[in-house]
């Protein structure tokens, strides 16, 4: 599946025909029976289903699009294995899918409750779209049993201030043509807490200034524009990187355009490259469990340090682009949980 410039057809694993379930469904929509009996996207209305699915994906940001495509393929594969067509699936099928996601297989471990719930929500969104398009009459995930997610708990690792400084130092001590780019990118992730998808999609034009303050405008989830302050150290790192990049291109820094963080070929860095960079820096910095240090761990580190330094909940929520303050509070509570454990009070009383 690819949606870039032109619309292409989305493919899921071939789906089994299930005439018995189709007939018993008593679908009022004349096309529903034909769709349910179709092999994959083929059949009288198969093209409509394929086009609707492609349109549903095309409306998403690239990273969301890729994730939703994986989610839908996983659901299609699950249904195919059970001999159930995606358009005849019922609530019990959706419930079993949620359970299977967390149970895993011998070949792949199960997902966390958060990841399983997100995958189910993505597939539910697809069904809602089909219903809205008149291509289906029900959403089997509407009342499905979703994994219970603890909003006060985050399994993501984070770094303390000393470890975060060591990551920055490791980036600045690097060698090679990407040293300045990598150092600027790491400062942006740690000092502003931007998501890896936002780092990869940033453009040079996103840099600016407001009332004498250097800024960068980030495109958050849902296309939301968030203007963020650039601390002097982050601005200096970006200036050094862009000056070096401009010198190699034989132009002035102000003439640069395109992706803010680019490869030698000029394309934007991708998520995989950022993940590998962060892990490499964690190893170089000598951090314990470097494989647990991810771009999201750097975002969590930003939230944790901001909380420990007294950041206001509303300010932190705005900075991180959270629509729900409970998401921000989850970071805060994770940071304070051990320090505020009542066990300390009881131990002090009992000696």
CB atoms within 10 A of CB 203: 15
Q: Give the number of other CB atoms < 10 A from CB of residue 109.
A: 10
Q: Cα separation of 258 and 99, whole Å?
A: 44
Catalytic option among 119, 299, 300, 330: 299
Tell me which DSSP letter residue 136 carries. Answer: -
Instruction: Give catalytic status of residue 90 as yes or no.
Output: no
pLDDT at 51: 84
344 is catalytic: no
Whether 224 is catalytic is no
Which pLDDT belongs to residue 186?
96
Helix (H) or strand (E) holding 229: strand 225-229
Question: Domain 161-336 is of which CATH architecture?
Answer: Orthogonal Bundle (1.10)
- Is 322 one of the catalytic residues? yes
10-residue mean pLDDT profile of the chain (351 residues): values are: 40 53 35 34 58 87 84 90 89 93 79 85 92 90 81 65 94 93 95 92 94 90 82 94 95 95 94 95 93 90 82 77 67 60 69 58
- Nearest alpha carbon to residue 46 among 71, 73, 75, 9: 9
Crossing angle (nearest 10°) for helices 46-58 and 62-82: 140
> Where in the chain do CATH 1.10.443.10 domains reside?
161-336
Residue of 68, 129, 241, 331 marked active site:
331
What is the secondary structure of 18-76 as a DSSP string? -HHHHHHHT-SSHHHHHHHHSSTT-STTHHHHHHHHHHHHHTS-HHHHHHHHHHHHHHH
Q: Is 225 one of the catalytic residues?
A: no
Per-residue model confidence (pLDDT) at position 92 = 93
Using the structure block, give the residue that is written with the tokens 């000092």.
191
pLDDT of residue 221: 74
Report which secondary-structure segment, H or E, holds 216: strand 213-219
> pTM for the complete prediction?
0.60
Return the closest-CA partner of residue 332 out of 158, 179, 181.
158
**List 73, 296, 329, 333, catalytic entry:** 296
Residue that is written with structure tokens 């018995």 in the block: 20
Among 179, 221, 284, 329, the one annotated catalytic:
221
Q: Please say if 331 is a catalytic residue.
A: yes
């Amino acid at each position: 599946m690819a949606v870039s410039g032109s619309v292409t057809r989305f493919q899921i694993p071939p789906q089994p025909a299930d005439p018995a379930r189709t007939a018993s469904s008593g679908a009022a929509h004349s096309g529903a029976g034909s769709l349910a009996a179709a092999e994959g996207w083929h059949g009288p209305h198969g093209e409509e289903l394929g086009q609707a699915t492609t349109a549903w994906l095309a409306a998403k940001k690239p990273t969301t699009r890729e994730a939703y495509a994986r989610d839908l393929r996983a659901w299609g594969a699950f249904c195919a294995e059970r001999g159930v067509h995606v358009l005849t699936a019922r609530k019990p099928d959706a419930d079993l899918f949620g359970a299977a996601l967390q149970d895993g297989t011998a070949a792949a471990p199960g997902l966390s409750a958060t990841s399983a719930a997100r995958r189910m929500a993505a597939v539910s969104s697809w069904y809602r779209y089909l219903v809205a398009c008149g291509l289906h009459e029900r959403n089997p995930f509407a009342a499905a049993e979703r994994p219970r997610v603890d909003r006060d708990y985050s399994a993501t690792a984070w770094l303390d201030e000393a470890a975060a400084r060591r990551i920055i130092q490791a980036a600045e001590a690097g060698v090679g043509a990407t040293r300045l780019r990598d150092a600027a990118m790491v400062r942006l992730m740690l000092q502003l807490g931007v998501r890896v998808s936002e780092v990869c999609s940033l453009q040079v034009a996103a840099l600016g200034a407001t009332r004498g303050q250097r800024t960068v405008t980030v495109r958050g989830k849902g296309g939301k524009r968030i203007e963020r302050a650039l601390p002097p150290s982050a601005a200096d790192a970006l200036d050094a990187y862009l000056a070096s990049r401009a010198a190699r291109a034989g132009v002035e820094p102000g003439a640069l355009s395109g992706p803010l963080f680019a490869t030698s070929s000029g394309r934007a860095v991708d998520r995989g490259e950022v993940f590998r960079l962060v892990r490499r820096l964690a190893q170089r910095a000598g951090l314990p469990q470097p494989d647990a240090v991810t771009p999201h761990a750097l975002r969590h580190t930003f939230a944790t340090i901001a909380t420990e330094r007294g950041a206001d909940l509303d300010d932190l929520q705005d900075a991180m682009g959270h629509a729900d303050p409970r998401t921000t509070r989850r970071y805060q509570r994770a940071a304070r949980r051990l320090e505020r454990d009542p066990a300390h009070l009881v131990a002090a009383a009992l000696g």
